């Protein structure tokens, strides 16, 4: 299965002031102390399904669990530690996503993310808005501010003017009937709330990402 395109409410302030500097310090100095503290915070906010994976990341970074893809994660000898290169790969591929998911994407009723690749909502939007169809079949990608430490394979903060246009397009299309199209109606309401919140408070951004 390929990647899907999502849009999510994103705590830009927390990313810029806390998560991004911590990751830069790690890749600069190689010391995981600050990341371990953030992972502990992330664990407190995690779902049941995320909790064990985050604990595993903590164990890998503090050296109590071995990580080594080249040897199938089996320590080559007693007391073997993961190499710096392997840890760097692990942080980029796994830990970055754990930190962003738990610390920068809010847990709110109704959801803070919307699938814009494969969901019931997408065909409805494309039917009623050529602008939205063009935007989410490639037109909007690489027009925002890319994250150096992305959620998924690619992540960017959507430019304010595009968020405004997107919201205007949503407001211009007919509302789906909540009885005959309950999923579409719910997803549209969720998407609209993401954009409204983004424009209301500079702390938030609309994050577009491939995952």
Number of domains in the chain: 2
Residue-level pLDDT at 108 = 79
Distance set, CA 44 to CA 21, 54, 91, 166 (Å): 21, 10, 19, 34
Domain that holds residue 42: 10-104
Instruction: Give the span between the Cα atoms of 176 and 182, in whole angstroms.
Output: 8
**What mean pLDDT is predicted for residues 133-157?**
95
Its pTM stands at 0.93
Residue 117 shares a structural domain with residue 197: yes
What percent of the chain lies above the pLDDT cut of 70? Answer: 99
Contact 20, 29 (CB under 8 A): no
Instruction: Give the span between the Cα atoms of 106 and 26, in whole angstroms.
Output: 24
Residue 113 shares a structural domain with residue 204: yes
Answer with the one of 55, 75, 104 that is the final residue of a domain: 104
Residue 92 shares a structural domain with residue 114: no
**What mean pLDDT is predicted for residues 127-146?**
95
Instruction: Give the span between the Cα atoms of 66 and 63, in whole angstroms.
Output: 7
DSSP string, 110-168: T-SEEESSSSTHHHHHHHH-HHHHHIIIIISTTSSEE-SS-SSSEEEEPPHHHHHHHHH
pLDDT, tens digit, 9 for 90 and up, residues 63-104: 999 999 888 888 989 888 899 999 999 999 999 999 999 999
Phi and psi angles of residue 116, each rounded to the nearest 5 degrees, phi first = -110, 15
Residue 137 shares a structural domain with residue 180: yes
Distance set, CA 177 to CA 109, 127, 131, 188 (Å): 21, 15, 22, 11
Answer with the one of 73, 104, 135 that is the final residue of a domain: 104
């Amino acid at each position: 299965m390929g990647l899907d395109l999502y849009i999510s409410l994103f705590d830009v302030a927390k990313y810029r002031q806390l998560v991004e500097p911590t990751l830069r310090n790690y890749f600069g100095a190689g010391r995981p102390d600050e990341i371990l503290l953030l992972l502990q915070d992330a664990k407190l906010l995690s779902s049941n399904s995320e909790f064990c994976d985050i604990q595993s990341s903590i164990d890998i970074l503090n050296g109590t669990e071995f990580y080594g893809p080249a040897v199938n994660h089996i320590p080559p000898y007693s007391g073997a530690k993961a190499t710096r290169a392997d840890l760097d790969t692990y942080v980029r591929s796994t830990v970055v996503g754990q930190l962003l998911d738990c610390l920068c994407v809010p847990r709110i009723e109704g959801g803070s993310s919307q699938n814009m690749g494969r969901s019931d909502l997408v065909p409805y939007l494309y039917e009623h808005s050529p602008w939205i169809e063009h935007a989410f079949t490639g037109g909007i990608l690489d027009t925002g501010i890319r994250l150096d430490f992305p959620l998924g394979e690619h992540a960017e903060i959507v430019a304010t003017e595009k968020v405004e246009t997107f919201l205007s397009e949503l407001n211009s299309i007919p509302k789906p009937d909540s009885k005959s199209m309950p999923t579409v109606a719910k997803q549209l309401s969720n998407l609209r709330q993401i954009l409204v919140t983004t424009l209301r408070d500079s702390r938030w951004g609309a994050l577009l990402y491939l995952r």
